[in-house]
A and B are shown apart, each in its own frame.
Chain A
Amino acid sequence: MTVVLNDHLRIPEEVLTSKVGDETVLLNLQTGMYYSLDPVGTRFLEVLQRTGRLDEVHHALLEQFDVSTAKLEADLLKLSQDMLARGLLVKDGE
């Protein structure tokens, strides 16, 4: 599934999240599978849950971390695609 920076993404109802320390654990109730996000992934999810917009996440993380625009964009798109494939995110409206 292709993701672009101006996509709107959200966590579907069948996914539970729990912030443990500076990391996050996710449970997909449909598959019964657990996943975890490191501190950077946790920050990604926090901003995404608040704004629902990948470009807002990109903007926020660019201010917080010492990383190039292109590298951050590539990393965010890769993480988003991976989470979409695992049912941990859906495009808004789906």
Chain B
Amino acid sequence: MTGATRYRVCDLLVESSVPLPELSQVEGGSPDCRFEVLPAAEGFAEDAHWFHQWITADKETWLKLADRGEDYLLRFLDQGDFLISRDGRDVRCCPLPGTPESTIRHLFLDQAVPLVLSRRESLVLHASAILTPQGVIAFVGKSGQGKSTLAACFGQSGFRLISDDYLVLRKMALRKMVEDWFAIPSYPGVRLWPEASDGIFSVPPESAEIAHYTDKRRVSDPALVPFAEGPSALRCLYFLNDEGDAFLPEPVILPLRPREAFMKLVSCAFSLDVRDKVRLERQFEAIGQITAQLPCFQLEYARDFAMLPAVRRMIVDQPVRSGL
């Protein structure tokens, strides 16, 4: 690719034909993934064999996945197509006419990249995560369950952000012989609804558009949400639910049995090809190890911004109470 620039997202070195200002630029190195944006058109030719789709909470199809020759085809309805090679090394986007650059970047960074990573890593979870003195705490949940709000709340208190929306977990040993599950920092910034931003920050932060179809905005100021520099050991996981009980006077943390946590993690794991038995097996093993080794909790709290400091205090104390 001529004029391409290299960036890092998680541990992935991406060579991109378009600027990705959300990411840090890097010099040198061999790219793990090439991203190319093609001229806008009506999508890639329709010789696709559809095998899966993602449905929104409103029961609408949001993303369709297909085999197309040697590639996977991701069709984001009304936005554009992405072709991903089987090995995840090449990603090409064919946006629909009129799709803004910010939306293309968002679809690549926040939708395509975690799916590419799911081909390379043991486990990629739909989760935000922050670094505490005891290690990394993950907030696992689906869209709209409060992952980014919690991450921003911790960031605003000086805790470093590991991830806003997708969390790469890798088993490795750092400076010791025993292997541990490590969280790999994704990229800086949190995506917040305006009311969440107003509820967390005392002064309106600088923010950037994420995509034309959402009012959410990206807050990347490192003074407000500092970003972690390297991998750190995962210490525990909190699972979020759809809506907090508005009448709960204070947050509640309930321990989950490993089997309960396992079933919840399964539904929050990214997978580009749900038919790929080898990778499903690897994912299954990873989830089994994580839920057997690490404390998992259900987090319940009223979705009231005034409640967030209490949630944060209780969570920061929780690993100590758990003996971590």
Cβ contacts under 8 Å, A34 to chain B: 263, 266
Residues of A within 8 A of B262 (CB): 18, 20, 25, 36
Using CB atoms and an 8 Å cutoff, list the residues of chain B in contact with chain A: 257-259, 261-263, 266, 274, 277, 280-281, 284-285, 287-288, 291-292
Knowing A23-B257, A27-B280, A29-B277 touch, does A18 contact B285 (C-beta < 8 A)?
Answer: yes
Q: Tell me if A16 is interfacial: C-beta within 8 Å of chain B.
A: yes
Q: In the complex, which of the residues A18, A29, A32 contacts B288, with contact meaning CB atoms closer than 8 Å?
A: A18
- State A58–B291 Cα separation when bound (angstroms): 30
Q: Is A19 an interface residue (CB 8 A)?
A: yes
- Given the complex, which residues of B lie within 8 Å of A20, measured CB to CB? 258-259, 261-262, 288, 291-292
Q: Which residues of A contact B285 (CB under 8 A)?
A: 16, 18
**Of residues B258, B266, B274, B280, which shows the largest number of chain A Cβ atoms within 10 Å of its Cβ?**
B258
Distance of A14 Cα from B262 Cα, bound (Å): 19
Nearest opposing residue in chain A for B288, CB measure: A18
Of B281, B285, B288, which is in contact with the most chain A CB atoms at under 10 Å from its CB?
B288
Partner of A36, one of B259, B280, B284, B287: B259
A21 near B284: Cβ-Cβ < 8 Å: no
Range class of the A interface residue count: 10 to 19
Name 10 A/B residue pairs within 8 A (Cβ), A-sorted: A16-B280, A16-B284, A18-B287, A19-B292, A20-B291, A21-B257, A21-B258, A23-B257, A23-B259, A25-B259
Docked complex Cα distance between A34 and B291 (Å): 15
Q: A20-B262, A36-B259 are in contact. Are A25 and B280 (CB under 8 A)?
A: no
Give the shortest distance, in Å, between B42 (CB) and chain A (any CB). 32
Contacts of B257 in A (CB 8 A): 21, 23
Partner of B259, one of A14, A21, A32: A21
Contacts of A25 in B (CB 8 A): 259, 262-263, 284, 288
Report chain B residues within 8 Å CB of A27: 280, 284
Residue of B nearest to A16 (CB): B284
Instruction: Please provide the chain A residues from 10 to 24 with a CB less than 8 Å away from any CB of chain B in the complex.
Output: 14, 16, 18-21, 23-24
Select which of B258, B281, B291, B292 is within 8 A of A29 by beta carbon. B281
Chain A's nearest CB lies how many Å from the CB of B284?
5
| Residues of chain A from 22 to 56 with CB closer than 8 A to chain B in the complex | 23-25, 27, 29, 32, 34, 36
A29–B274 alpha-carbon span in the complex (Å): 10
Tell whether, in the assembled complex, residue A36 and residue B263 are in contact, meaning their CB atoms are under 8 Å apart.
yes
Nearest CB in chain B to that of A37: its residue: B259
In contact, B284 and A18 (Cβ under 8 angstroms) = yes
CB pair A23 B277 closer than 8 Å: no
* Nearest CB on A from B259, distance (A): 4
| Distance in angstroms between the alpha carbons of A29 and B285 in the assembled complex | 13
B259 (CB) vs chain A CBs: closest residue: A23
Give complex CA distance A21, B257 in Å: 8
- Cβ–Cβ < 8 Å partners of B284 in chain A: 16, 18, 25, 27
The docked-state distance in angstroms from the alpha carbon of A18 to that of B290 is 11
Q: Within the assembled complex, what's the spacing in Å between the Cα atoms of A14 and B280?
A: 11
Q: How far is the CA of A43 from the CA of B22 in the complex (A)?
A: 51
Q: How far is the CA of A27 from the CA of B263 in the complex (A)?
A: 11
For the complex of A and B, list the 5 residue pairs with the smallest distance between their C-beta atoms, beginning with the closest: A18-B288, A20-B258, A21-B258, A23-B259, A29-B277
**Inter-subunit contact B288/A19 (CB<8 Å):** yes
Specify which of B263, B274, B291 is in contact with A32 (CB 8 Å cutoff).
Answer: B274
Please indicate which of the listed interface residues A18, A19, A32 has the most CB atoms of chain B within 10 Å of its own CB.
A18
Chain B residue nearest to A42 (CB atoms) is: B259
Instruction: Tell me, in angstroms, the Cα distance from A19 to B288 when the chains sit together.
Output: 7
Q: Taking the nearest CB of chain A, how far is it from the CB of B243, in angstroms?
A: 25
